[in-house]
Amino acid sequence: MAWWRIFSFVLAMGSGAIASVAAKPVPPVPVLVAKGVWTVSGGITPDRQPDGNSVIFDAPGGLIVFDTGRHVWHRNAILALAREEGKPIAAIINSHWHLDHVSGNPALRAAFPHLRVYASAAIDGALAGFLPDSVRQSEPYLNDPALPAATRDDIRADMATIANGPALRPDMTVIGSHSLRIAGRQLMVRLAANAATAGDVWLYDGKTRIVVTGDLVTLPAPFLDTACPEGWQRALARITATPFRTLIPGHGPPMTPPQFALYRHSFDAFIACVGSSEPKTVCAAAWTEQVRPLLGDDPVDGKRAQGMATYYVEMLRANRGRSKYCAAPAHH
C-alpha cells in the first residue's frame, strides 16, 4: 500500500457528511510560539494528503525553516512570513524525506537561491526505492473514477515532486548529533538512525527550550510506514532526556513534557501490543484510549486514531514487527 493510500483510507473514514463537498483548504497562518519562533501548522483536509508542521526560527543570518510541507498553500505561508519579517530564508532543516515535510524545498530555494538544506542521507535510499515504488502503485488509481478530485490532484503533485526528486536532497548531510551554528543561531541537531525513517533529524533549541521532533511524534497515530520501532523508541528516550519546555510534533498541536510522557508511554504500549497475540482492534483501541487527552476536539480524530492504529498493527505484524523498509539489523 502506497504512502498516500493510508491517508486516503483514513480520511475517507473521517470525512463523513462533508465528503461530497469540495473541501477548500484553509491556508495556514504562522503562529508565534516563542520570541523569534513561529509554527505553520499542517492540517488534515478531507480527501487531501497531510502537511507536516513547519517551525521557523529567526536567526541573525535569516530564517531557519524546519520542514516545508507538501501543499502550495503551506509553503506560501512560509514565504509570506519571510516577506513580512523582511528576512531571507537562510536554511531548511528537513526532519525526514516524507513528502509532507520536504515538498516545499524547491520553491523556497527558488525564492532564496542561497539557502542551505540540512537533512540526513536517508532520502537517497527513498529516491531509489520507496518513492518510485509509490508512484508505480499510485498510477492505476488515477484512472479510478471514484477517486476524489482533490486526492487525484495530490497524487499528481506528489508524482511531480518525486520526478524532481534530486531537488529535495540536502546540501549539508546530517551524519550525527551536533550543536550546530546555522545562520548564526546555535541549535542542537540530533540524528535518530532507523526510527520513523532510516534517518530522522530532530532539534533542540536551548534558547527557548523548544524541541522539534518531526514525525517521531505525531497524532492521531504514529506513521509507521517506513519505521524501525526499536530505533524509534530509543529516539523517544533521547527526547525525554532533553530539558524541553515545549515539544512541537510533526503533526498535531504542541505538547508539554507530561503530554509527551503520555505519548511515549502509549507508543511503547502500542509496540508491545503489536508483539503480542492481542487482536489488532484491541491494540488500536488501547492506543486511542491512552492518547485521547492529546487529541483535539474533533470527534473524527478518535476514529482516525483507531483506523490508522489498526492498519499499522497488521502492517507491522506482516513483517516481524517492523516496516518492510526498515533496514536495521534485527535484535532478538
Place of cell 473521517: 14
- CB-wise, 87 or 98, nearer to Zn ion? 98
Residue 205 binds to Zn ion (criterion: CB under 5 A): no
Q: Which residue is nearest to Zn ion (CB)?
A: 52
Our measurement of the distance from residue 322's CA atom to the centroid of its chain's CA atoms, rounded to an integer in Å, reads 18
The stretch near Zn ion (CB under 5 A) out of 4-12, 79-87, 247-255, 287-295 is: 247-255
* Distance of closest approach, residue 67 Cβ to Zn ion, in angstroms: 8
Question: What letter represents residue 285's amino acid?
Answer: A
How much helix, strand and coil, in percent to the nearest 5, is found in the chain?
Answer: 45, 20, 35
CA separation for the pair 332, 326 (Å, rounded): 15
Residues 6+ positions from 181 with CB-CB distance below 8 Å: 187
Determine which residue in the list 154, 205, 215, 301 makes contact with Zn ion, applying CB under 5 A: 215
Determine which residue in the list 47, 67, 100, 205 makes contact with Zn ion, applying CB under 5 A: 100
**Pair type for strands 54-59 and 37-40:** antiparallel
Phi, psi of 14 (to 5 degrees): -90, -20
* Distance of closest approach, residue 262 Cβ to Zn ion, in angstroms: 20
CA atoms within 13 A on the CB side of 292: 10
* Distance of closest approach, residue 215 Cβ to Zn ion, in angstroms: 4
* Distance of closest approach, residue 323 Cβ to Zn ion, in angstroms: 14
Residues 6+ positions from 21 with CB-CB distance below 8 Å: none
* Distance of closest approach, residue 252 Cβ to Zn ion, in angstroms: 10
Size of the site for Zn ion (CB under 5 A): 5
Residue 158 binds to Zn ion (criterion: CB under 5 A): no
- CB-wise, 196 or 284, nearer to Zn ion? 196
| 29-88: contacts with Zn ion (CB under 5 A) | 52
Beta bridge partners of 172: 118
Residue 220 binds to Zn ion (criterion: CB under 5 A): no
Q: Which three cell numbers stand for residue 100?
A: 509532507
The stretch near Zn ion (CB under 5 A) out of 78-86, 99-107, 153-161, 176-184 is: 99-107
Residue 301 binds to Zn ion (criterion: CB under 5 A): no
CA atoms within 13 A on the CB side of 63: 27
Point out which residues bind Zn ion (CB under 5 A).
52, 98, 100, 215, 250
